[in-house]
Structure 1
Amino acid sequence: MSQNIKNYIGVAGMIVALVFAYSYFRYTGAYERSIQPSSFRSFSASGEGKATVVPDVAVFNFTVITEGGKDLAASQKENTDKTNQAVDFVKSKGVEAKDIKTQSFNVSPRYESYNCYAPMTVMSVSAAVGQEIAPVARKCPPPSIVGYTITQSIEVKVRDFSKVGELLSGVVDKGANQVGQLYFKVDDQEKALADARAKAIDQAKRKADEIAAAGGFKKGRLLSIEESGYNPYPYDRYYGMGGDAMMESAKVMSAPAPSIEAGSQEMKVNVYLRYEIE
Structure 2
Amino acid sequence: MSEISSRRIYYLAAVAIVAIVLISAVATTRPLSIQTNGPSSTQQKTLQVMGVGTVSAQPDQAIILLAVQTQAATATQASSDNALIMSKVMDALANVGIGKSSIETVSYSLAPIYEYKQDQTTPPKIVGYAVRNAIQVAVTDFSLVGKALDAAINAGVNEVQGVMFTLSNAALTKIEKQALQFAIQDADGKAKAVASSLGVTLLGPISVTPGYFYQPMFEKASISGNQTPIQPGTLQVTVNVQITYQIA
Write the distance in 1 (CA, Å) between the matches of 2:187 and 2:66: 43
- Which structure has the larger Rg over C-alpha atoms? 1
Partner of 1:197: 180
Q: Is the contact between residue 58 and residue 157 of structure 1 (CA under 8 Å) also seen in structure 2?
A: yes
Pairing 1:269–2:239 present: yes
Aligned to 1:179: 160
Letter in 2 for 1:170: A
Shift of 1:40: 4.4
Among residues 195, 202, 210, which one is paired with 1:227 in the alignment? 210
The Cα shift of 1:272 comes to 1.3
Task: Judge conservation of contact 1:219–1:275 (CA < 8 Å) in 2.
Answer: yes
Moved over 6 A (4+): none
Partner of 1:102: 105
Task: Indicate which of 43, 46, 67 corresponds to 1:63.
Answer: 67
Return 5+ residue gaps in structure 2 as ranges: 1-36
Supply the distance in 2 between the matched residues of 1:184 and 1:238 (Cα, whole angstroms): 13
CA RMSD across the alignment: 2.1
Name the aligned partner's letter for residue 161 of structure 1: F
Aligned residue number for residue 13 of structure 2: none
Contact 1:49 1:270 in 2 (8 A): yes
For these two proteins, the number of residue pairs brought into alignment is 207
Instruction: Note the C-alpha offset of 1:233.
Output: 3.6
Deviation string 1:165-208 (CA, Å, 9 cap, x unpaired) is 11112211111111133121221211111111111111111111
Counterpart of 1:206 (choices 165, 189, 196) is 189
Q: 1:145 aligns with which of 120, 126, 132?
A: 126
Partners of 1:264 and 1:74 in 2: how far apart? Answer: 45
Q: Distance in 2 between matches of 1:181 and 1:216?
A: 56
Give yes or no for contact 1:53–1:266 (8 Å, CA) kept in 2.
yes
**TM-score, normalised on structure 2?**
0.76
**Aligned partners of 1:222 and 1:273 also within 8 Å:** yes
Query: Which digits, 9 at most, give the CA deviation of each residue in 1:76-110, with x for residues without a partner?
Result: 01011111111221122112322110000011111
1:34 and 2:38 aligned = yes
Give the fraction of aligned pairs with identical amino acids, expressed as a percent: 25
Q: Equivalent residue for 1:113? A: 116
**1:79 has 2:62 as partner:** no
1:51 partnered with 2:55: yes
Q: How far off its partner does 1:163 sit? A: 1.5
Q: SS of the counterpart of 1:235? A: strand
The structure whose residues are more often strand, as a share, is 2
Residue among 148, 155, 164 paired with 1:167: 148
Measured in 2, the distance between the counterparts of 1:202 and 1:98 equals 41
TM-score after normalising by structure 1 = 0.68
